[in-house]
Amino acid sequence: MGYVRPFLRLGIYEDLRNRIRSKSEHYLCLVAMVVENTESTRDVSNTRKQDLVGTVEIDVRSRSGMDVLLFKSWQLDNLDDFEYAYLSNLAVDANYRKLGVAQKLLSYCEHQVLGWGFCELYLHVLENNYTARRLYDKAGYRLQEVEWTFGSLLFGQPRKLLLRKSFSSKV
């Protein structure tokens, strides 16, 4: 498996690079860092130590016609409801968990989504990721849909849960 890792890393790197380079006005990749020995948190280039401790991405996605058929519970009122805000790839280094990093990243994403004019945010989480599910539940995310795949049906792999949070103008 060791020989596959460089290819996986390259694929992930290229995917992230393409997303960051896209011209979409509704895409944001956030990073949380621990920075030591700097006078300003805005300029971390002069620091002696920097640790990347967390990341998250948000963007606006479009529902395809198939999505509308599969996710009837979204109850689209009209064709303008085909776009939705989506959160993905929330991750925090194991050494920095339970310190509020994930909550802060999540909260910032919610504020950003409101700024984009959306009042709901969607995300997926695996059903066996209990730590993430607890985080999202505490933050007000509720189950929207359970997604079955061939892997979950045939091999007992965990299902993907689609979660949704609706918020007013105050987050």
CATH, residue 104:
3.40.630.30
CA distance 149 to 141: 22
* Residue 3 confidence class, pLDDT cut points 50, 70, 90: confident
The reply to whether 8 falls in a domain is: no
Compare 35 and 28 and report the one with higher pLDDT: 28
Tell the residue number behind the tokens 């460089």, with chain if given. Answer: 6
pLDDT tens column, 12-29: 667 666 766 666 788 999
Angle, alpha carbons 141-114-129 (nearest 5°):
25
The reply to whether 17 falls in a domain is: no
pLDDT tens column, 84-94: 999 999 999 99
pLDDT tens column, 130-163: 999 999 999 999 999 999 888 888 999 999 999 9
The reply to whether 95 falls in a domain is: yes
Strands of the sheet containing 160-166, edge to edge, are: 27-36, 49-62, 83-92, 120-126, 160-166, 142-147
The letter for the amino acid at 150 is: F
Provide the token pair at 149: 């795949």
Pairing of β 120-126 and β 83-92: parallel
Angle, alpha carbons 92-128-145 (nearest 5°):
100
Which structural domain, as residue segments, surrounds residue 74? 25-166
| pLDDT over threshold 60, residue 71 | no
CA distance 95 to 53: 8
Q: How many domains does the chain have?
A: 1
Contact 86, 57 (CB under 8 A): no
* Residue 59 confidence class, pLDDT cut points 50, 70, 90: very high
The reply to whether 52 falls in a domain is: yes
